[in-house]
C-alpha cells in the first residue's frame, strides 16, 4: 500500500478524497491545522472506511513542523495538496492573508518534496485561473486571464511555482487539477461540507436557508449575460472530484504522463445557473426557498464551465452523479447536521 499524504485532509474535498484513496487500497495520513475544518470529520471517514486516519495538526506555513512530518513518514510516495484558504469574497477583503497562507504553505510542502524526493504530487487548483474567459467551455489550453479575486490569483501563482519546480526537479511528477464547483455530500451522508460562519458557496447557502439556519439567501446579481441573468457555473459532485484525485495518483504511478507537469479540468461539462440550481433544489427537496436578488458580488466570474474530455480520456474518469444527486445529498447532509445539533 503506497502512503499518500493529504494536506487539508479534514476539509471538504480533502476528507472525501481520503475516503476514496482508502477504498482504492492506499495508506493515508493527513496534515490539517483545523483552522478551517473540524477534526471530527475523520470519525465520519472511519465510519465509511473502517480505518482510522492519523492527522498531524500542523500549520504548513511553519516549515520546521511540516518537515518533521516527512521525517516521521519517510515512506510517503505521493502528496495531494488541498490545504488553502478558499473563500473568494474573503480573499477580496483580506488579500494579504490569502497570499501569505496559500503560497507559503505550498512552498514549504514543495521544499519537503525536494528534500525527500517525493515522486508524485497532485495540486488542488481551480477554474478561477481562467478569470472571465472569452469563450466557454474552457479547455486546458484556454488562456488564463487576470484572476477576479486574490484567491484565484493564488491558484495562478501556485501553478506557476509548480511549472518552475517541475523544470528543475524532474524526479517529481506533478498534476494540477482545476476543479469547477464541488458540491454535495458523500452518499453515506457520513461526511459533507462544513462551512465556517456564513457560507460563501451556493449549495450550503441554499440548504442552510431551507433548514432555517439562515433567514434568506441572496442571489448575487441577476443582470449578467446568461440565459436567466444569474451566474453560470459547472457544479460537480464532491465524490466525483475526489475520485479524480485517486485516478491522478494512479496515472502517475503507471507512468502514463507525457511530461512531469500536467493539467486537467474537473467539471461535468455542463453549465448550470444559480437560479437553475435553486429550482433543482426545490424540485428534489419539495421545499420552497426564501431568496432575494441582490447586487453583484466582487470577485465573481460571470459564466464558466469545463470541457472535461482530457480528464475523461486520459484518467479514465467517469462522472457518476447528476444535479439531482448533488442537491439530494447536500440536503440530506444538512438535515443530518440539524438532527445531531
Catalytic one among 56, 120, 151, 179?
151
Assess contact for 145 and 133: CB atoms under 8 A: yes
Helices (H), the chain: 12-23, 41-49, 63-72, 88-93, 95-116, 150-168, 202-211, 238-253, 274-285, 309-315, 323-340
Q: How far apart are CA 8 and CA 33, in angstroms?
A: 8
Q: Of 300, 278, 280, 272, give the one whose Cα is nearest residue 290.
A: 278
Residue 173 bridge partners (DSSP): 120
Residue 286 neighbours by CB distance under 10 Å: 8
Q: Are 122 and 266 in contact (CB under 8 A)?
A: no
DSSP string over 61-103: T-HHHHHHHHHH-TTEEEEEE--S---HHHHHH-HHHHHHHHH
Q: How far apart are CA 9 and CA 18, in angstroms?
A: 7
Strand partners, 183: 237
Q: Which residues, listed in sequence order, are joined to residue 179 by a DSSP beta bridge?
A: 126, 266
Q: Is the peptide bond before 4 cis (omega within 30 degrees of 0)?
A: no
What is the distance between the alpha carbons of residues 108 and 3, in angstroms, rounded to a whole number? 20
Which among 285, 284, 187, 220 is positioned nearest to 88, based on CA atoms? Answer: 220
**What is the phi-psi region of residue 286: left when phi exceeds 0, alpha when psi lies from -120 to 50, beta otherwise?**
left
- Number of residues that this document lists for the chain: 341
User: Is 151 considered catalytic here?
Assistant: yes
Q: Any idea which residues carry the catalytic annotation?
A: 151
Amino acid at each position: 500500500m503506497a502512503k499518500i499524504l493529504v494536506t487539508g485532509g479534514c476539509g471538504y474535498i480533502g476528507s472525501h478524497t481520503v475516503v476514496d484513496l482508502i477504498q482504492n487500497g492506499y495508506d493515508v495520513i493527513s496534515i490539517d491545522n483545523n483552522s478551517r475544518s473540524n477534526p471530527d470529520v475523520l470519525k465520519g471517514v472511519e465510519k465509511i472506511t473502517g480505518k482510522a486516519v492519523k492527522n498531524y495538526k500542523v500549520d504548513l506555513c511553519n516549515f520546521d513542523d511540516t518537515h518533521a512530518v516527512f521525517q516521521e513518514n519517510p515512506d510517503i510516495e505521493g502528496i495531494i495538496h488541498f490545504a488553502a484558504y478558499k473563500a473568494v469574497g474573503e480573499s477580496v477583503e483580506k488579500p494579504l492573508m490569502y497570499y501569505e497562507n496559500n503560497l507559503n504553505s505550498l512552498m514549504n510542502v514543495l521544499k519537503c518534496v525536494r528534500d525527500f524526493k517525493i515522486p508524485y504530487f497532485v495540486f488542488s487548483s481551480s477554474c478561477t485561473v481562467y478569470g472571465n474567459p472569452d469563450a466557454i467551455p474552457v479547455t486546458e489550453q484556454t488562456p488564463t486571464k487576470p484572476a477576479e479575486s486574490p484567491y484565484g490569483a493564488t491558484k495562478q501563482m501556485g501553478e506557476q511555482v509548480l511549472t518552475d519546480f517541475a523544470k528543475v526537479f524532474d524526479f517529481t511528477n506533478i498534476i494540477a487539477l482545476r476543479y469547477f464547483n464541488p458540491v454535495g455530500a458523500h452518499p453515506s451522508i457520513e461526511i459533507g461540507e462544513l462551512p465556517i460562519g456564513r457560507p460563501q458557496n451556493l449549495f450550503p447557502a441554499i440548504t442552510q436557508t431551507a433548514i432555517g439556519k439562515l433567514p434568506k439567501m441572496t442571489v448575487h446579481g441577476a443582470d449578467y449575460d446568461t440565459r436567466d441573468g444569474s451566474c453560470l457555473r459547472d457544479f460537480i459532485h464532491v465524490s466525483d472530484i475526489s475520485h479524480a484525485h485517486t485516478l491522478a495518483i494512479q496515472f502517475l504511478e503507471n507512468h502514463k504522463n507525457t511530461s512531469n507537469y500536467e493539467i486537467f479540468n474537473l467539471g461535468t461539462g455542463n453549465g448550470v445557473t444559480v437560479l437553475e440550481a435553486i429550482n433543482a433544489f426545490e424540485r428534489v427537496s419539495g421545499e420552497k426557498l426564501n431568496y432575494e436578488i441582490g447586487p453583484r458580488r466582487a470577485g465573481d466570474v460571470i459564466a464558466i464551465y469545463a470541457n472535461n474530455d482530457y480528464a475523461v480520456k486520459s484518467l479514465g474518469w467517469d462522472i457518476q452523479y447528476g444535479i439531482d444527486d448533488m442537491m439530494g445529498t447536500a440536503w440530506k447532509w444538512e438535515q443530518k447536521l440539524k438532527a445531531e445539533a
